[in-house]
Structures are given as C-alpha cells and as structure tokens.
C-alpha cells in the first residue's frame, strides 16, 4: 500500500479554512462535521452519495447516523492523521450535502 | 404520535434469547450488535437494505460505520426503552446480514 503523506499544520489550516463547518478533532488527527436533514430518507440519501464517492476514491468516512443527523469523521490511518485524501473527501461531501 | 409500550423485563429477555449476538446496553434501554463484512461496499450494502426496511417500518437504527464494521443500537424513544419495534427491526437486520 502506498504511504500517504500527512498534511503539515499549514496545509491543514489552509484546507480547513476552505471547508466551512469542519472542525479539527481535539487530537488534531481528524476533521469532523455534523449534518442535519429533514428526515431519515434525506440523511441516508446523502450517505449513499458519499458512499459511492468514497468507494471510487478508496477512502472511507467514519460516520454515525441517527434519524436525520449524520456525524462524519475523516482521517487517514496510513498517514497517521490528515492527508489530501481527507480534504478531497470533505469537498465531495460538501457537494453531496 | 401513538405511544409504543415498553417491553417488560421478561419480554425483553425472551426477545434477546432469540437474537444471537445482540446484547443489552448497560442502561437496559437499548440493544446493540456489531457486524463485520469483507469490505466497505459489503457493509454499506447491508446498511442500505436495513435503511429501506427501517423507512418502511418508520423505525430507525442508531448506527456507526467505519470501513467494514457496522455498530447498531436499537431503542424506542417514544417508549423510553425497548419495544416490539426494536425486536422487529433486529429480526429484519438479521435477515439483511
């Protein structure tokens, strides 16, 4: 498996500033955002759009759903923190929302 | 909204004994099970089958997914604990797995 480089702090901060609502997890190794929809069907439709993008990119979210709420965490285990893959997936998620 | 009656302890124990791998949450108000699959696509396919059943029954899971793992919690907020809806959804989930 190819090693994915971890973002520098400057790269991470630049990426976060262009991703409204995404916050750095307390340990600095992941970014998180909570989305709310009108109901479960809307929330799961959103998850399905993301699942297809994630599978294409071979980079997957950690996520929790209850009814109309979806909490997403992105991190790159191979990088031991955040990588460009997380930024790309966050942008795809914003488009799906 | 119709009130859903909460299961008695005896009803709950009887239901759990027929649902292998499902465990009572520490507070006694929910049942939980973790499922593992070959990869993300299999795990999300399983979630999609459940989502359709859940939407039909208008009773939804609380769930967490990371890659091939799906952790499911079932409870009925209207009942303040477990109801027959959770047992029915757990059985549908077993069929989807």
> Is A25 among the domain residues?
no
> Is A4 among the domain residues?
no
Domain residues for the domain of B37 are 9-19+31-96
Cβ of B74 under 8 Å from any chain A Cβ?
no
Cβ of A6 under 8 Å from any chain B Cβ?
no
> Is B24 among the domain residues?
no
User: Over the stretch B34-93, which tens digit does the pLDDT of each residue have?
Assistant: 999 999 999 999 999 999 999 999 999 999 999 999 999 999 999 999 999 999 999 999
pLDDT at position A68 over 80? yes
Residue B71 belongs to a domain with what CATH number?
Answer: 3.30.1360.20
Half-sphere exposure of B89 (CA within 13 A, CB side): 29
pLDDT at B3: 78
pLDDT at B1: 52
> Is A45 among the domain residues?
yes
The total number of structural domains that make up chain B: 1
> Is B67 among the domain residues?
yes
> Is A65 among the domain residues?
yes
Calpha distance B94→B4 (Å, rounded): 23
């Amino acid at each position: 498996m190819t090693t994915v480089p971890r973002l520098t702090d400057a790269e991470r901060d630049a990426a976060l500033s262009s991703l409204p609502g995404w916050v750095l997890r307390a340990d600095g190794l992941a970014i998180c955002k909570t989305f709310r929809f009108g109901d479960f069907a809307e929330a799961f439709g959103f998850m399905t759009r993301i699942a297809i993008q994630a599978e294409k990119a071979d980079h997957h979210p950690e996520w929790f759903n209850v009814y109309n709420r979806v909490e997403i965490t992105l991190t790159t285990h191979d990088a031991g923190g955040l990588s460009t893959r997380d930024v790309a997936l966050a942008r795809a998620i914003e488009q799906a929302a």
